[in-house]
Amino acid sequence: MAEDLNIPPKNTAPEEKYRLLLPQIKSLVEDESDLIANMANVSSVLKSVFQHLWVGFYIVKNNELVLGPYQGPVACTRISYGKGVCGKAWEKQASIVVPDVNSFPGHIACSADSKSEIVIPGIYKKKVIFVLDIDSNQIDFFIETDRIYLEKIVKLLTDNSDC
Ligand code: SME
């Protein structure tokens, strides 16, 4: 249950935060098979623990990405294949870390406060079915540790939810 989460203190190192969160997210998503419900809880956990500007999901529907569960400011609702960081991660079927959004050709600015970004695709049966998108208001915020652990979190979602 979400209210039983053990939330690490703000000054905990990122790797330690993920290490503490991973088993808790696993038990959260193992108890629920609905993908949207699990995306909603994962957005909440990541936003509250890391205080990112924006954490959320875009879901592949009718060959475009449509806004799904998220935490943060209002965001654009639809992204085409290959467009923006999210559409590129979908096209490449690979995570993308953007240290400075202003240097990423075609970046879609949903918020002027977003300075760096990471996008992780959720892959099921060799197809991207959603992306996890996280925006930071700090430049060069995301490190390799984020990519590694966020990929594990996304895999927990695709392995444990009805896709
Ligand atoms: N910046 C993203 C768009 C989504 S928002 O950041 C929430 C992109 O370029 O795909």
State the pLDDT at residue 31: 87
Kindly state the DSSP code that residue 34 receives in the 8-state scheme: B
- Does residue 84 have its Cβ closer than 6 Å to ligand 1? yes
Q: How far apart are CA 58 and CA 120, in angstroms?
A: 11
For 41-69, how does the pLDDT look when each residue is reduced to its tens digit (9 = 90+)? 999 999 999 999 999 999 999 999 999 99
pLDDT of residue 161: 87
Point out the residues of the chain with pLDDT beneath 70: 1-3
Q: What is the pLDDT of residue 3?
A: 57
What pTM value is reported for the model?
0.96
| Level-2 CATH architecture, domain 14-160 | 2-Layer Sandwich (3.30)
Task: Tell me the CA distances in angstroms from 150 to 15, 29, 41, 80, one per residue in order.
Answer: 11, 14, 14, 23
- Predicted pLDDT of residue 5: 82
End-to-end CA separation in angstroms for the chain: 22
Q: Where are the domains of the chain?
A: 14-160
136 alpha carbon to ligand 1 midpoint, in Å?
11
> Nearest residue CA, atom 3 of ligand 1?
108
Q: What is the pLDDT of residue 105?
A: 94
